[in-house]
Structure 1
Amino acid sequence: MENLLDISFIIESFPTILSRLPITIGIAVGSMVISLFIGLATALIKIYKVPVLSVITSIYVSFIRGTPLLVQIYLVFYGIPKVIYYLQIEYGVLLSADVNSISPEMYALMAFSINLGAYLSETIRSAIESVDRGQFEAAKAIGMSPVQMMTKIIFPQALTVAIPNLGNMFISTIKDTSLVFIIGVVDVMGQAKILGSRGLAFFEVYIAVSIVYWILCIVVERLLVRLEKRARRYERGIA
């Protein structure tokens, strides 16, 4: 009688799956860092209602939030090469750019950064707007420039509010990286699919990869809890 579960295959698959963990973490961390800049810029544009740009950012946020991440990955993967070819042929620019040299990991990083940037913009905007208006007025009263006011007064307080949402989004991003195999990125999930097809043991490898994601998210969650507690202590110290 065939065994329901091949425990030995699950155990043996862990080292091979874990060998791709740096790619998963790299895409998640890299896109999070880039998207923080995108989200901050988008949030400030919407807060200060910059002409034209505020309309563009609103369309950008609405489009990203209204379409699946899977579709956005495909749009980046197939769209960017077409744009580069078009610019090369029609305008003679980017002649040295070779789309074939762009790795699938880079496309995945771009897609996740664009996606996260839209969601983070709303998180950052709400965090900034949660700061008491008196803080803005006090900073202006003592002669602080807008940059000084934001970096020294507003951002530290807004960060404390934003950390839980930022942490949740980072954990979601780690799990969403399982989609990148569709464009040829062999990450943790991709390696699991390859192993499953070789040994015809898809159930076992999916159990193994789910355990990897589970443990990784638990570790990240614990680190974020410590970071939030540290930020709260800093906030009480300021008070």
Structure 2
Amino acid sequence: MEKLFDLDYMLKSLPRIVEYLPVTLWIALLSMLLGSIIGLATALIRIYKVPVLAQLSTLYVSYIRGTPLIVQLFLVYYGIPKFLYFFQSEYGFLQQLNIYVIPPEIFALLSFSLNLGGYLSETFRAAINSVDRGQFEAANSIGMSQTQIMLKIVLPQALTVALPNLGNTLISTVKDTSFIFMIGVVDMMGQAKIMGARALAFFEVYVAVSLIYWLVCIIIERGLVVLEKRIRIYERSE
């Protein structure tokens, strides 16, 4: 008689799925870092209305926010090798690069970074615009440059305002990494699919991987709460 749920297999699958947790975390964390850099740069370009770049940045943000992440992942995975091959064959560029051995993790990292850059640009733009304009005027009156004002006055306050949204984005990114198995990256979700196919126990391994994602997101959430409290305490003590 077939079991409704094989608890023993689920428990055995947990440590084998956890082995791939570092893959999930490094892609999520590194893409979050790169996405934050892209997002901040895009936000500043739009705030200061840099000619041409501001219009391109608006188009970039609109495209990222208006298309699914999975589509962007496939566009990067299939599109970049196609462009590289074209430039190699037509113009002789990057002949030393073997596009067929580029790890799929690189494409996953790039697509996630670009996706996060589009969303985080709006987070940073709103946070920077929330800083009291009087502080800009006061800093200008004492001779501070625009760069000094941004680095020493605006960004520290803006990052505090943006922290809750940054935390939510990080949690979402950890969960969204489950897509990367579709381009050949074996992470936790990929390992769960492999184990489920081998034993025909998909339900059990999906329950197992869901519990791991849940626990990881709880830990991240608790860590962010502690960080936010420490920042608030530091602000009040100033």
Q: TM-score range by the shorter chain?
A: over 0.9
Q: How many angstroms does 1:147 deviate by? A: 1.3
Moved over 3 A (4+): none
> Counterparts of 1:43 and 1:92 in 2: how far apart (Å)?
36
Conserved? CA contact 1:65–1:119, under 8 Å? yes
> Counterparts of 1:28 and 1:121 in 2: how far apart (Å)?
17
Q: How many angstroms does 1:30 deviate by? A: 0.6
- Residues 78-119 of structure 1 show CA distances to partners (whole Å, capped at 9, x for unaligned) of 000011111112222111111122101111000000000000
> Counterparts of 1:205 and 1:82 in 2: how far apart (Å)?
36
1:167 aligns with: 167
2:7 aligns with: 7
Q: How many angstroms does 1:4 deviate by? A: 1.0
- Residues 113-171 of structure 1 show CA distances to partners (whole Å, capped at 9, x for unaligned) of 00000000000000000000011111111111111111110011111100000000000
> Counterparts of 2:234 and 2:90 in 1: how far apart (Å)?
55
1:184 to 2:170 alignment:
no
- Number of residue-to-residue matches in the alignment: 238
Conserved? CA contact 1:124–1:158, under 8 Å? yes
Conserved? CA contact 1:139–1:149, under 8 Å? yes
1:198 aligns with: 198
Listed as ranges, the gaps of 5+ residues in structure 2 are none
> Counterparts of 2:19 and 2:210 in 1: how far apart (Å)?
15
Q: How does 1:41-120 map to 2 (within 5 A)?
A: 41-120=41-120
Task: Give SS of 2:50's match.
Answer: coil
**When the two structures are superposed, what TM-score results if normalisation uses the length of structure 1?**
0.98
Output the aligned Cα RMSD. Answer: 0.8
1:152 aligns with: 152
**When the two structures are superposed, what TM-score results if normalisation uses the length of structure 2?**
0.98
2:126 aligns with: 126
